[in-house]
């Protein structure tokens, strides 16, 4: 389980452990029509899969996130069921395995892989020795996931610093980097006419936040900018689709988490004491119905990140 914890996204572990899993799994592996020509597919947390989205243009399809290879194998036929246009582009919303490791399958099907320049930097730093550095998470994951072992890492090759816009005269889709949140290279996919937003893991809709590759303080500020878009339908990186409340609740959860940890820091508590208080912090956060769904089965990683950002040290083992 420890190996699983280190290699699978928080979403997977949370999904395995959640006692409310049966209800939450109702929409898993189903395609939802968000708007005409716009689709959302909720991934299976038991297999570590991310959510996906896709948008049908006049001449081609743009897919949001590559998923793991095993997730791509599930989603690709579903994309093809909705349209016979070619899948020409796939956007990695960030560098994490469950959003980018399936790239090869989409590239083999003819797609160009897109990401932000910062996501590629993170991929080089953390994910792989492909670029000549030390082996990373990709090489480790290939040892335990047959779907990863059976394919190759295909990096994104079309990169943009801040925004990239698709507009064929009928359909407009904007890819935006608003700043660090879940990772430094988070991409949001925004459809201004339909007021639909795909957030990647910058917003999730359940106990699925992985926080140690980002920055909670900056994440809160970035989500403030994202709120201004006026999205009416929000498709998160994990968990079910919802409305604008997902962005506000996600932001409120991080604010409340930081406030809880700050109270202990201000009271002079030690790293060991704050680590020991993680379950109580989770219990306190669960009392607010807007943010209760973000409380993890184990809160240590979230409390640790907040503590580090408030000037604290790494928790003792």
By the criterion CB under 5 A, which residues form the site for Zn ion? 96, 201
Kindly tell me which of 95 and 154 has the beta carbon lying closer to Zn ion.
95
At closest approach, how far in Å is the CB of 9 from Zn ion?
6
**Shortest gap between Cβ of 232 and Zn ion (angstroms)?**
24
Name, in order, each residue with C-beta under 8 angstroms of 165's C-beta and a sequence gap of 6 or more. 172, 173, 174, 175
Taken as a whole, the chain contains a residue count of: 317
Strand partners, 42: 28
- Return the H-helix or E-strand segment holding 176: strand 172-176
Spell out the SS3 assignment of 69-94.
HHHHHHHHHHHHHHCCCCEEEEECCC
> Looking at beta carbons only, is 214 or 312 nearer to Zn ion?
214
* Cβ atoms of residues 128 and 135 within 8 Å: yes
CB of 64 to Zn ion, least distance (A): 13
Between 213 and 249, CB nearer to Zn ion: 213
Identify which of 294, 296, 303, 253 has the alpha carbon closest to the alpha carbon of residue 273: 303
* 48 vs 312, beta carbon nearer Zn ion: 48
The least distance separating Zn ion from the CB of residue 210, rounded to whole angstroms, comes to 5
For the CB of residue 266, give the shortest distance to Zn ion in the complex, in Å.
31
User: 3-state DSSP: the chain helix, strand, coil percent, rounded to 5?
Assistant: 40, 20, 40
Q: For Zn ion, which is the closer residue by CB, 201 or 249? A: 201
Minimum distance between the CB of residue 100 and Zn ion, rounded to whole angstroms? 9
How many Å apart are CA 281 and CA 41, to the nearest integer? Answer: 33
Residue with Cβ nearer Zn ion (96 or 145): 96
């Amino acid at each position: 389980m420890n190996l699983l914890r280190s290699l699978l996204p928080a979403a997977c572990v949370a999904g395995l452990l959640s006692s409310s899993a049966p209800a939450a799994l109702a929409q898993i592996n189903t395609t939802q029509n968000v708007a005409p020509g716009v689709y959302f597919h909720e991934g299976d947390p038991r297999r570590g899969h991310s959510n996906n989205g896709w948008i049908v243009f006049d001449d081609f399809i743009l897919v949001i996130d590559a998923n793991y290879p095993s997730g791509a194998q599930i989603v690709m036929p579903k994309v093809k069921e909705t349209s016979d246009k070619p899948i020409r582009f796939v956007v990695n919303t960030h560098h994490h395995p469950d959003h980018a490791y399936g790239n090869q399958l989409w590239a083999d099907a003819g797609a160009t892989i897109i990401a932000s320049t910062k996501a590629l930097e993170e991929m080089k730093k953390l994910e792989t020795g492909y670029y000549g550095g030390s082996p990373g998470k990709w090489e480790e994951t290939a040892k335990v996931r047959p779907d990863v072992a059976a394919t190759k890492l295909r990096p994104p090759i079309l990169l943009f610093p801040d925004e990239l816009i698709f507009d064929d005269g009928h359909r407009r889709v904007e890819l935006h980097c608003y700043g660090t949140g879940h990772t430094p290279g988070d991409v949001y996919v925004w459809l201004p006419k339909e007021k639909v937003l795909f957030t990647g893991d910058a917003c999730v809709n359940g106990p699925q936040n992985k926080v140690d590759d980002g920055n909670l303080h900056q994440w809160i500020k970035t989500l403030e900018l994202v709120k201004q878009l006026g999205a009416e339908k929000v498709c998160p990186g994990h968990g079910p689709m919802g409305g604008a409340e997902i962005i506000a609740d996600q932001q409120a959860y991080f604010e409340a988490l930081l406030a809880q940890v700050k109270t202990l820091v201000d009271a002079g508590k030690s790293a060991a004491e704050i680590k020991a208080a993680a379950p109580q912090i989770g219990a306190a956060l669960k009392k607010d119905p807007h943010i209760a769904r973000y409380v993890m089965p184990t809160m240590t990683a979230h409390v640790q990140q907040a503590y580090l950002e408030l000037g604290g040290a790494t928790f003792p083992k």
